[in-house]
Amino acid sequence: MYFKQFLHDEFGCSSYFIASRFSRDAAVIDPQWEVQPYLDLAAERGYTIRAVIDTHLHADHISGNRRLAAATGATLYLHEAAEVHFPFQPLRDGEVVRVGQIELHVVHTPGHRPEAISLLVVNPLRSPEPSMVLSGDTLFVGDVGRPDFGGPEGARQQYASIQRLLGLADWVEVFPAHFEGSCGKGMCGRPSSTIGFERRYNPILQLSREQFEQAASEPPARPLNMTAILAMNQGVADYRWVATTPLVEAVPEITVEAAPAWLQEHHPFILDVREPAEYRAGHLPGAVLLPQADLAVRLAEVPRERKVLVVCAAGARSRRAAGFLLGCGFPQVTSLAGGTNGWRAAGLPLATGTLAEG
pLDDT digits (tens, 9 = 90+) for 262-318: 999 999 999 999 999 999 999 999 999 999 999 999 999 999 999 999 999 999 999
Q: Which pLDDT score is estimated for 148?
A: 60
Pairing of strands 269-272, 308-311: parallel
pLDDT of residue 150: 66
| Residues labelled catalytic | 312
Q: What is the pLDDT of residues 178-205, one digit of tens each?
A: 887 555 456 677 899 999 999 999 999 9
Q: Is the pLDDT of residue 220 over 80?
A: no
Instruction: Give me the residues paired with residue 334 across strands.
Output: 309
- Is the pTM higher than 0.85? yes
Q: Which residue has the higher pLDDT, 329 or 148?
A: 329
d(CA 151, CA 110): 13
Q: d(Cα 271, Cα 274) in Å, to the nearest integer?
A: 9
SS3 state of residue 266: helix
CB atoms within 10 A of CB 22: 11
Give the whole-angstrom CA distance, residue 52 versus residue 61: 17
pLDDT digits (tens, 9 = 90+) for 116-156: 999 999 999 999 999 999 999 999 998 998 776 567 888 89
How far apart are the two ends of the chain, measured CA to CA in Å?
A: 53
Residue 275 sits at φ, ψ, to 5 deg, of -80, 155
- For 29, the enclosing helix (H) or strand (E) is strand 25-29
For the CA atoms of the chain, what is the radius of gyration? 22
Segments of 88-149 assigned E as strands: 89-91, 96-99, 102-108, 117-122, 132-136, 139-140, 143-144
CA distance 194 to 290: 40
- pLDDT tens-digit series, residues 2-37: 999 999 988 889 999 999 999 999 999 999 999 999
What domains can you pick out in the chain, each with its CATH number?
Answer: 2-216 (3.60.15.10), 245-345 (3.40.250.10)
Alpha helix ranges (H) inside the chain: 36-45, 65-72, 151-166, 195-201, 209-216, 226-234, 240-244, 259-266, 276-281, 316-327, 339-345
Report pLDDT for 215. 79
CA atoms within 13 A on the CB side of 311: 27
Residue 276: the pLDDT is 95
3-state SS assignment for residue 63? strand
